Structure formats: C-alpha cells, structure tokens
Chains A and B, each alone.
Chain A
Amino acid sequence: MPEIQLRGVWKRYENILALRDINLKIEDGDYVCILGPTGSGKTTLLKIIAGLVHPTKGKVYIDGREVTGLPPERRGAVYMHQTYALFPHMTVYENVAYGLRARGLDEETVRERVEEVLRLVNLDGWEDAYPRQLSGGMQQRVALSRVLVTGDKIVLLDEPLGALDARLRLLVRDELKRLKQELDLTVVHVTHDQSEAMAISDRIILLREGSIIQDASPEESYFRPTDVFPASFIGDRNLLEAKVVRVDGEGAWVQFKGGEEVYGKGGPFETGDLAVVSIRCEEVKIIDEKSSIPAIIVDVSFLGSYVKYYLRTEGGTLLESNTSLQEYLCRRYHVGDKVYLKLGEIQLFTYPRRGLMREVEAI
C-alpha cells in the first residue's frame, strides 16, 4: 500500500522559506495535483517526496515507513523532471531500457518490460525510432515509459505537460488518467494550471507561499473555495469589494460601491465590515425579465466553448458573465445592449489584510 505522508515538513533555502509546516497524507491509488503559482513551493514539495531535496525539518513516510533519510532509489517512488530530456542518440527502445540495464537486469527481462510499457503507452512499433523522429506527444510518452518501466507504484510528475502544445495537453491528460487506472498507480502531479488540475485529479492541494491553502476534491475546490485566494485561483470568478449592511442567517446583505445590495453566505461579519463578494462568472445570468440589477454590455469575448460578457451595472459595478455556447447561439448580445442580471450563488469572504487587489494580483 503505497501511501505517502508528510509530517511537519519545513524547507528553508538560505533566507527563503520555501515550505512551512506541511502536513498531508496521500492515499494509495489517488491522483493528486499540487497546484499553485510560480514560487509557491510546489516543486520543492514534490522533490521532498522524491528524496531529491531534504526537508529542513519534518518527516516523510511512504507505506508507513519513514524515508526522510533514504536516497530516491530506495523509496519506491519515481520522479519525472519538468524537462524530460531523452537521449537523442538512442532509439525509443534504448531510452526506455536504459534505466533497467543500469540496474543490471538481464536482457530478457529488460525486453519483456520495455515491450509491455511501450504497448501500454501505444508506442509499440516505434521501438527503433529516434526521438527527433517523434512528435512532442510521442516524446512525452517515451519519457513517461522510462518512468513507468521502473515498476514503482508511486509516480511523481513535475509539470509533465508543460513542454507540450496546448492542444496536445488535452489529449495527454486523458492518457495519464487512463495509465494511472490501468497500472494502479499513486500519482502526485505538480502544475500551475488550474484547469489541468481540475481535469485530471481526484484531489487538489493548493499551495501559496509555501503553505497549503486548500486541500479538497476538484469539485469542492471549484464550488467551495475557503478564501479569496483559492476563489481567485480556481475557476473563473467575480471578486468584488462590498460593505456589510445587515447580518442575516448564515451570511449577510452587502452593498457594492455602486449601491446594489446582494445577499451572500459567509462570515461571521458585523455591520459596516468590508467583505469580498465572490460570484462564479457562470452564475451571472443575463435575463429577459426586469431585475433589480440593470446593466450594460461593455465588451464581448468569444472563447470557444463559452462566451464572456463584460458588464457594467447602473451603479458602476463591473461584472463578468460566462454564457454557454448553446445559450449564445440562441441569443447574442452586443456591446451597448441594456440588459438585466440575475446573480446566482454568492459567497462572502473576510476582506484580506493586504487588500483585495494585492491578494488577487499576487497570482
């Protein structure tokens, strides 16, 4: 049972604190994404699990056994570097066989295992090709084969899709998921791309400035962010400043600078507090009936599977509405159109100490 556990892990590089008090447990068979902006400590965290970086403080366990002092090759976990360089002068077969031969396995076993892995990643038939003859996606699969052929059940992937074209990434996402299932792996995958994390993982660990900010399933991360930062980092949201005018039930009535009042859940607040209003862009609906929020369309962006309307309410509040492609094809609005808005689910957060702009800008 390859379960990974980190207890009280800190990492300091000279005067930079890269990780602070990380506690987490990754269950056997999970596909976990470590998500965060550049410099949040995500690669450091992965390398600590791999044994490539030693924590300043704290302990690492794999399978219930402490591995903090063990070298990478004795942890049963294999790490794939961001820039997976293939050996250009070796064929696909030799690239994949390299690690096994280095371990001194006999040629028969090597062949069996390399062939099996290449079949798995749909590269059988390409054994004799050289990396330069392969597309980016195929090269990536060769790199993955080198990792999988070790037979280790814990696979640590550092931005595995970063070197690929955007379109190819969408294909390889599905592939990684399939491989994890077929081989019964535990995968820890580092990325700065929230949509990648949403698409691929069972669980998202969101890091910022070396700390875990939220640790939840993709669905929960998306619908129930715990604070302003996760709300701004995952999904696509309107985050607006407002003043609490009345506390009510599990939330409060708040007023935007432009005067509109809305009700949202969250708190605790007191009347007069500043709050951050969080509304997912797809929860801002343009409706035909009159509503208490008249607005004007100030810009329209076609984005493929959806359309983003940029809106300004009569009071001057700026809102973004994501409208599905189906709705857009039925009814299109144009810049200058006067419309009415209905706001769906609203969450309220405590106003951040460093201010909303700074909190969001820090992305």
Chain B
Amino acid sequence: MPEVNIVNVVKKFGDFTALHGVNMKVESGEYVSIVGPSGCGKTTLLRIIAGIIPPTKGEIFFDDRLMNDVPVEERGIGYVFQNIALFPHMNLWDNVSYGLKVRGKPYDETHSVTLEMLELMKLTERYRDFPHELSGGMQQKAAVARALATGTSLLLLDEPLSMLDAKVREKLRYELRKIVKDLDLTAIHVTHDQEEAIAISDRIFIMRRGEIVEYGNPIDLYLSPRKIFTSYFLGESNVLEGIVIDRKSDEVEVQIGNISLKAYGEGFQKDERVVVIFRPELARLEPGGSMRIVERSIEKGYYRYILKDKSQKFIVKTFEKFDIDGKMNLRIPKEYVRVYKYPERGLNNEIALR
C-alpha cells in the first residue's frame, strides 16, 4: 500500500512555471483531493505523480521508492480521466477486463476479477451493454472499475465527475469514496469543485498559482483556515474589510461599514485595517437593523439572503424566512468570526480565483 511523497516538485513549461516547489505527503489508505481554480497546476501535479509527464525538478516517492525514472505503466497506478475513456466498440465486460487480458492474466482470474469489479459498481446486470447504452454516471463507474481491475492500490482521479450532471455527481462522489475506503485504496483526486473536495476527502490540498496554499481536513479548513483564500475558496464566505475599533487581551471589535463585529484574535492594533471572515450559515438575522434584504433564494435547505448596508454586501443563510426589502440586524457569535491581518498585496489579490 503506497504512501505517496512529493518532494520539492518544480515544473516548467518554457518560461511558465506551473509548479513552484510543491511538497505533499499522502498516507496510505487516505483519500486526498487537490483542489484549486483553473490553471493552478493541480492536473500537472497529478500527471507528474502518474508519470505521464516528468518534473523539471524534485522527487516522487511511492513507499520510499524513488519513482522519477519509473515509466507510467510500471508505477502500478489506476488513472481515471475527466473524459470518460471507455472503448466505444467494446461492451462493459470487455472494457473492464481489457487491462487484465493485455497483461496476460489467466482466464479464471480475468473472469473472477471482472465480475468482482462489476458487482462492486453494481453494474453486473449491464455487462453486455455498450458504453452508449449506459448513463454518464454508469460509464464513469465502469472507467473506475477498469482502472481498479488491474489490482492497483493507488487511484489517481483527474476531475472524474466534472462531465456528469450535478445530481449524478453528488451520488457518485459518495459511492466513489465508499469504494476506495472499502477496498482500502489510496486515492488522489483532482477537482475544481470545492464542494466535491469537501464531501469526498479525508484531507484537502488547496492550490493556487502553482503552490499549495493550505491543507488539512475538510472541517478544519472550512471553519478555521489559516489563509483568507482557503475560506473564500471553500464555499461562500463573507470576506469583509474593517477597522479595529477596540481590543482586549484575546478579543477584537471590528467596524465594517455600519456594523461592528467581535471576534477572538490577538496581535491586532487599534485602528488597524483587517479582514473579517464569517460563514453565511453561522450568522442569524433579526428584524430591525440597518441592513436591507435585496435578494432571497433557496439553497440546500437554507434561505440565502443578500443584504446591503450602504455599499457593504453580506450573505446570510438561515432557515427563517424574511421578506425582500426587510430591514435587518445581523448577529453572529464571536467564536464564528475570524480576523486576519490585511494582506500586503491587497484583499482582491489575496482572493483572486486565478
């Protein structure tokens, strides 16, 4: 069972540096995702792990074995592509058993492994169907079955769900994680979709501009990230500029437009410009303030409100229903509010999605 260790990997394409010295360690049996905006280098990193492209500098280890010079077909990995790459002229059975046959496995083994994989994916009944007779979700499951049939314990997934309908994606990501866990595999899954990363992984590596911004388990990254970008990228956040108006030992009060919020935080000065962040679903609304509801929609069981106070915009998600144009007050416990130093190169640069 492979532990994957990526040491100081640099990748240059001509003048363009796609990866600036990336370090990453994936434990055996872990489901890890690499998530980030388009062009952040995540697919390049995955291809380097697979051996599809070589790094410019740095080392790749599987279980302490240096893999840099090991060709892709000898790395013992299963690779699943974004574009479902089944052979269109072969039925499901032949697609899944293909890798076994090519490797010259005996008939009995090929037969039993193929059957096992199809059963695992709940596709046994469809074994004679051709790819075009299967739904997109089934096709992608078949692609995973084919990748696993060769007996790999390291599964590399490059945006495996992004070609599927949103609803299918939600179902399949749960199944995918379950299969990886049941078979005790190690998985590295690349996606641009922060929701998918949160749902599917034990740990998330967030990338931007060829670097890893932050990594950790989904809950910690979602609730208490060290970086502003992490909070902004992993689902909606209120990311607001404010001024410290008061501070006590471990507490600060920050003025944001017309409202002030308290938070835990140390090392801030009075009148310092800061960034305040809170999750929309951790705030509450009460009638009777200076914020006006300008929009309301339904999202995952919550009502999602956009509120305006002068030029300041807030997002709040709550179960309570209020009318558009209603004047509101926002309340949030201070343990859910996070305060950050104002970034040197400006807030817009800090949260830019590229």
Contact = CB atoms under 8 A, between A and B. Distances in A.
Contacts of B193: 165-166
A167 B165 CA distance: 17
A204 B174 CA distance: 27
A305 B297 CA distance: 15
Given A135-B352, A303-B198, A325-B282, 5 more contacts: A167-B192, A174-B306, A194-B167, A282-B301, A304-B194
Interface of A: 37-38, 135-137, 165-168, 170, 174, 177, 192-196, 198-200, 218-219, 222, 232-233, 235-236, 280-282, 301-306, 322, 324-326, 329, 361, 363
B297 A166 contact: no
A195 B196 CA distance: 14
A298 B196 CA distance: 21
B167 A170 contact: no
Which 5 pairs between the two chains have the least Cβ-Cβ distance? A282-B301, A166-B193, A193-B166, A135-B354, A165-B192
A135 B353 contact: yes
Given A167-B194, A177-B295, A324-B281, A236 B236 contact: no
Contacts of A135: 37-38, 352-354
Nearest to A280: B301
B166 A303 contact: no
Contact of A305 (B37, B295, B300, B354): B300
Nearest to A36: B165
B219 interface: yes
A329 B222 CA distance: 13
B192 A304 contact: no
A170 B298 contact: no
A177 B235 CA distance: 19
A18 B37 CA distance: 36
Nearest to A326: B282
A137 B236 CA distance: 16
Contacts of A326: 281-282
Contacts of B302: 305, 324
A195 to B, nearest CB: 6
Contact of A222 (B219, B298, B317): B298
Contacts of A329: 282
A362 B304 CA distance: 30
Contacts of B306: 174
A329 B219 CA distance: 11
Interface in B175-222: 192-196, 198-199, 218-219, 222
B210 to A, nearest CB: 15
Interface in B237-279: 279
Contact of A218 (B37, B297, B352): B297
